[in-house]
A = this chain, B = another copy of it.
Amino acid sequence: MGDEAHAGRGRRPTIADVAQRAGVSKGLVSFALNGRPGVNAVTRDRILAVAAEMGWSPDVRARSLSTNRSFALGLVLRRDIEIVAGDPFFPAFIAGVERELSPAGQALVLASVPTGPLEADTYRKLAAERRVDGVFLADLRAHDERLALVDSLGLAAVTLGHPDIDSPFAAVSVDDVEGMIATVDHLVDLGHRSLAHVAGTADMLHASRRRDAFHAACGARGVVGRVVETDFSARQGGEATRELLAGDADRPTAITYSNDLMALAGIAVAQRAGLSVPRDLSVSGFDDSDIARYVYPSLTSVATDAVEWGAAAARVLLAAIAGTPLEDTDLAPAKLIARESTGPAPGAPPPH
């Protein structure tokens, strides 16, 4: 007597145990659990009560096998560790994803791969083993081969941002352009006429979109806008800064960076060169990491709501899997947060 309901001890109850105890068939338990019509309300309540009493919940493995669904979504991170580690985006994004997945009974499968061919293999493996029903495609690249790959693997997907090629998947996007334009406007309004942008890897779409927006905004305001490309790392952010500050003649008076990490490294390089930020050089970042607010000078940055982005992407992906696809979603555009690291251009009159 009473060898049930002992979590972890002995055999855990199955649907058959619940059915027997409730005096009904397995099928009816399944119907009751999934809230399907055709079950007498009284019977349903009794079944659910028995299930709760026995501490039974359906085994996701068995469910997966019979429904041909995994009840899990995948996220493949392909980045070098130093760069992921310094990036506040993914932890926040994942928190948002989880907020949606958990109540939906879905799990997140995370894979982390170094840059290289392993990435495609990882998607293939996730599909071949039937680990996940769909994947989040982050860090889109130019002509991203993952779109065709993932589609051919029969996986559902959602892209973070709009791809530059035809896509079979819905996109959930946050517009960086507006934040970059606001940054350039902010700097030009402060009297800067020679700007620079330290961009991320050119083949990553969000990096190139920011770069293009920088160019366009500088053109629109009639100011000089140089660009140096990097790999998003603090090291290269610092090196790019050194390069930009080297020439005396055309030295920019303001630099925008494609992430906060590089901006902080850039400030350090400037300070080492004897420049004061923002007196001699204005600096702005991207992502609005928590630390941006707490350094000195505090860092002007462009804020993206990564948590909401994750939640929206999860909703869209779940809908696609459920067969009721949602439209592309454009979230609130990234917003400039002006702080102390940007100030009047040297020699410029203070803005009124």
Residues of chain A in range 53-71 having any CB-CB distance to chain B below 8 Å? 55, 57-62, 64-65, 70
Which residues of chain B have C-beta atoms less than 8 A from A22's C-beta? Answer: none
The 0/1 profile, CB within 8 Å of B marked 1, for residues 1-24 of chain A is 000000111001000000000000
The 0/1 profile, CB within 8 Å of B marked 1, for residues 88-117 of chain A is 101110110110001001011111110000
- Report the contact-size class of chain A (Cβ under 8 Å from the partner): 35 or more
Asked if A312 CB lies within 8 Å of chain B CBs, one says: no
A58 adjacent to B95 (CB under 8 Å): no
Asked if A281 CB lies within 8 Å of chain B CBs, one says: no
Residues of chain A in range 232-291 having any CB-CB distance to chain B below 8 Å? 233-235, 237-238, 261, 264-265, 267-269, 271-272, 289-291
B234 adjacent to A129 (CB under 8 Å): no
CB distance from A233 to the nearest CB of B (A): 7
Considering only CB atoms, which chain B residue lies closest to A109 in the complex?
B107
Q: Which of B65, B90, B235, B238 contacts A62 (CB 8 A)?
A: B65
Considering only CB atoms, which chain B residue lies closest to A64 in the complex?
B61
How many copies of the polypeptide does the oligomer hold? 2
CB distance from A120 to the nearest CB of B (A): 12
Kindly specify which of A78-86, A186-194, A321-329 makes contact with the partner chain: A78-86
Residues of chain A in range 175-206 having any CB-CB distance to chain B below 8 Å? none
Q: Which of B94, B237, B261 contacts A110 (CB 8 A)?
A: B94
A98 adjacent to B112 (CB under 8 Å): yes
Which residues of chain B have C-beta atoms less than 8 A from A238's C-beta? Answer: 294
Q: Contacts A60-B130, A88-B85; is A290 near B233 (CB within 8 Å)?
A: yes
B102 adjacent to A91 (CB under 8 Å): no
Kindly specify which of A33-41, A139-147, A151-159 makes contact with the partner chain: A151-159
The 0/1 profile, CB within 8 Å of B marked 1, for residues 145-174 of chain A is 000000111110000000000000000000
Asked if A307 CB lies within 8 Å of chain B CBs, one says: yes
B108 adjacent to A110 (CB under 8 Å): yes
A59 adjacent to B129 (CB under 8 Å): yes
Cα distance A94–B87 in the bound complex, in angstroms: 14
A84-B91, A234-B293 given; 4 more Cβ-contact pairs under 8 Å: A57-B129, A97-B112, A109-B109, A235-B294
CB pairs A–B below 8 angstroms (19 shown)? A8-B153, A8-B155, A59-B129, A61-B130, A62-B65, A64-B64, A81-B91, A81-B92, A85-B91, A86-B88, A107-B126, A107-B131, A108-B111, A234-B290, A234-B291, A235-B294, A238-B294, A261-B291, A269-B296
